[in-house]
Chains A and B, each alone.
Chain A
Amino acid sequence: DGGITQSPKYLFRKEGQNVTLSCEQNLNHDAMYWYRQDPGQGLRLIYYSQIVNDFQKGDIAEGYSVSREKKESFPLTVTSAQKNPTAFYLCASSPRGTPEQYFGPGTRLTVT
């Protein structure tokens, strides 16, 4: 089955630790995205990548980093510089030539 996987579903970390969220897709999509979702705030774009080895900052990139070494993978690192990292993180992908995005199941990160 083609799709987007995010792991783990739930993640707990202590304040001050970096944490990496996984996102893998087998849809052969060129573009991939990371969003953050907080209650009542919709989805906010963190980073996106349209091609391997290239990525751009979204609206709220501070405190986050990404890499795109393979077409299938777009991991997100939440660094200790992120002031309020507790949130639901969603990964998405889209094929070339369309803005239609397909989403993974999400990772809920809790930092205490």
Chain B
Amino acid sequence: AQSVTQLGSHVSVSEGALVLLRCNYSSSVPPYLFWYVQYPNQGLQLLLKYTTGATLVKGINGFEAEFKKSETSFHLTKPSAHMSDAAEYFCAVSTDGSSNTGKLIFGQGTTLQVKP
């Protein structure tokens, strides 16, 4: 069965510092992987996704993630944090690879704090 583990429920960085949010997955099929961001009292917004092809995926707001099959990881990074990046971030894996069977499994979320 598919599962997602986000290491660290809270991450704090200084403005301008590197952001690294960790995500490890378990999947019995080639995974489709996603990162979403959620601002307080709002819905989730897709940051980036990995389906097939290039393992380094670039998303919105300067974020990127690298799919590492050998490590079953999909960590999210941003070279320089901005105050507006403060939010909750969710990693998700599709339960059935490329098929649209309607199910994503979400991690518990990581709250990113950015200090001035």
Contact = CB atoms under 8 A, between A and B. Distances in A.
Interface of A: 4, 6, 30-31, 33, 40-43, 45, 48-50, 56, 58, 88, 90, 92, 94-106, 108
B103 interface: yes
Contacts of B95: 99
Interface residues of B, number: 26
A100 B42 contact: no
A82 to B, nearest CB: 21
Contacts of B108: 40-42
Interface stretch (B15-23, B44-52, B61-69): B44-52
A31 B9 contact: no
A91 to B, nearest CB: 8
A74 to B, nearest CB: 12
A33 B109 CA distance: 19
B101 A50 contact: yes
Contact of B106 (A42, A94, A97, A99): A42
A94 B101 CA distance: 10
Given A40-B108, A42-B107, A103-B44, A98 B90 contact: no
Interface of B: 9, 32, 34, 36, 41-46, 49, 90, 94-96, 98-104, 106-109
A90 to B, nearest CB: 6
Given A41-B108, A42-B108, A42-B109, A106 B42 contact: yes
Nearest to B97: A99
B102 A56 contact: yes
A49 to B, nearest CB: 8
Q: Report which residue of A4, A95, A102 has the largest number of chain B beta carbons within 10 angstroms of its beta carbon.
A: A102
Contacts of A105: 42-43
Contact of B104 (A49, A96, A99, A108): A99
Contacts of B99: 99
Contact of B9 (A6, A30, A40, A95): A40
